Chain A
């Protein structure tokens, strides 16, 4: 297959949300000796960019966004080891640890944020839901996180966001780690009250916030 056709097919696999096809195309690129970084940047990323744009225009919808994110993960899953092998490096904007606050089991928004962040070049470690504060801090330390994102969808679990900020400070990590918070009842005022660095309105805005916070 011609390179241009391959790249077009890669983009298409993301737009169509076909994770298996994306992984296959990624493997094909490796077999053909194509630079994995180029495959990502010229093949797959245009697909996720298209989906993001169309989603913002309300021409594409959440299921498509989520499946596109899954397809992207599948492609990167094949290409990242190849990049490590060849010593090429993908430009990672930063490492983000995500978690739903202690006691909170809401997952959907946070997962969407993770998908969007990872698709846009962040390394994402998603700790899931109902995450104890200590676990967040430990993981942030372990992966040398640049950013921690905590979501809370209940007023009763929002204090957990404050707890994370305080625990990061107590652990001496606050200087290196920025904190963003989100979730339906969360407001910019609350974010500022608890000393968080930013408030993520929704998954798309979380990405621009994250980039702003890590300085890219």
Chain B
């Protein structure tokens, strides 16, 4: 039995949905792409300029065609990530703009070298289930920034990828790029390698780009992951429930647009909400209330049979300190207990602005703990304990039992050296190192052990070609080279 927390009663879930539908019908949603408005109006919505009023049946029809389950595949075509199953999966937070320099502790603008390093470390962490386009590469011209990140990840990883485009033009290039190793767009749609994040703008707005993004992804059959981000008290109602309603309204309207473009294309009920800190005006991702909003909206999404996603397991700390540990660990746990299919955020600091390979290594330990928690308690022996007491004779000699030898590895997850369980003497003898230092050492070990996946040279050439053409179209010349692995 998988442990689960439900923050909302069934009645509250119903009320959230009732109010979300009421908002869609009466208040309306701003849809700033005429093509999307047309789709909605043709299906029975009414539009007052760009404010669309959607009757519940229109949205319910769309909900009926959303796949309840879909998979992301790795380089070899194996369905290693499942959205809509029981598994809770994790990927590094995406779109950071800075990295934490492990030596100087400076937050400096991230580069291709930094993204490459992050991808390599993530590739070596079995606790992570997917890669993401973790950071934007500062030295790359902004017009091709999104597709360049994907290029780097495709070149160094064999895993499924969580990504996103910054424009419709580059979206198409990125879909083509993801399709190269799969064997073309149709093959990609059958066995998607990547899911694309697409964001509504709070409150209740689908921008021209967001709406078009939904339509294009639906038509390409490539999974879309909505990332609705109510900021409670600033860009959304201050109450957690009020923000959960806004999230539902934004996602329901997104699903309507998406499914009208192509029914049956996969889409995810996802987000990155936060409370708004009323002293600093910041958006703390590590706040417990943030995790509670996520758990609440995930429960609503699950009640509709939809795959879910959230941004958790991140911290607002600026260094990998106790705050970073506790915020990331606690919020990852809440997200996992809420049964969220994909949890993005590992590695992140500073309100999702900063990535850190070393923090990724620490976060992997929390993720491992969380996954062990979700694996629950199982009866591994015929009797729970009675047979294990035979011959014990009041001596604590369970170490000598065959069952202990046979079962300890199933019962206990073995953390890496990042988690210290030594005696004090042993810890001192090993240098008396703290978590941060141990994480730096392990990061170096992982980088050393990293081996680049074997990529088909023809695919690599095709990828490179796509990148070059897109770059030249955007007026970027010369086109940057990727460093050799």
Contact = CB atoms under 8 A, between A and B. Distances in A.
Interface of A: 58, 61-63, 105, 108-109, 112, 155-156, 159, 184-185, 202-203
A92 B233 CA distance: 32
B436 interface: no
Contacts of B235: 108
Contacts of B97: 155, 185
Interface string B351-380: 101000000000000000000000000000
B201 interface: yes
A159 B145 CA distance: 14
Contacts of A203: 281
Contacts of A58: 279
Contacts of B201: 105
B278 interface: yes
23 contacts: A58-B279, A61-B278, A61-B279, A62-B276, A62-B278, A62-B279, A63-B233, A63-B278, A105-B201, A105-B207, A108-B231, A108-B234, A108-B235, A108-B281, A112-B281, A155-B97, A155-B136, A155-B138, A155-B142, A156-B142, A156-B166, A159-B142, A185-B353
A112 B278 CA distance: 12
Given A155-B97, A156-B166, A109 B281 contact: yes
A105 B208 CA distance: 12
Interface of B is mostly: loop
A203 B207 CA distance: 27
Which of B145, B166, B281, B351 has the most C-beta atoms of chain A within 10 angstroms of its own C-beta? B281
Interface of B: 97, 136, 138, 142, 145, 166, 201, 207, 231, 233-235, 276, 278-279, 281, 351, 353
B144 to A, nearest CB: 12
A202 B281 CA distance: 9
Nearest to B234: A108
Nearest to B350: A184
Which of A61, A112, A156, A185 has the most C-beta atoms of chain B within 10 angstroms of its own C-beta? A156
Q: Across the A-B interface, give the 5 residue pairs with the lowest CB-CB distance, nearest first.
A: A61-B278, A62-B278, A155-B97, A108-B234, A58-B279
Contacts of A112: 281
Contacts of A109: 281
A93 to B, nearest CB: 23
B80 to A, nearest CB: 31
A190 to B, nearest CB: 10
Given A62-B276, A155-B138, A202-B281, 7 more contacts: A58-B279, A62-B281, A155-B136, A156-B142, A185-B97, A185-B353, A203-B281
Which of B136, B138, B278 has the most C-beta atoms of chain A within 10 angstroms of its own C-beta? B278
A174 B381 CA distance: 80
B53 to A, nearest CB: 22
A159 B231 CA distance: 25
A155 B281 CA distance: 19
Contacts of B136: 155
A203 B353 CA distance: 20
A20 to B, nearest CB: 21
A54 to B, nearest CB: 11
Contacts of A63: 233, 278
A162 B136 CA distance: 20
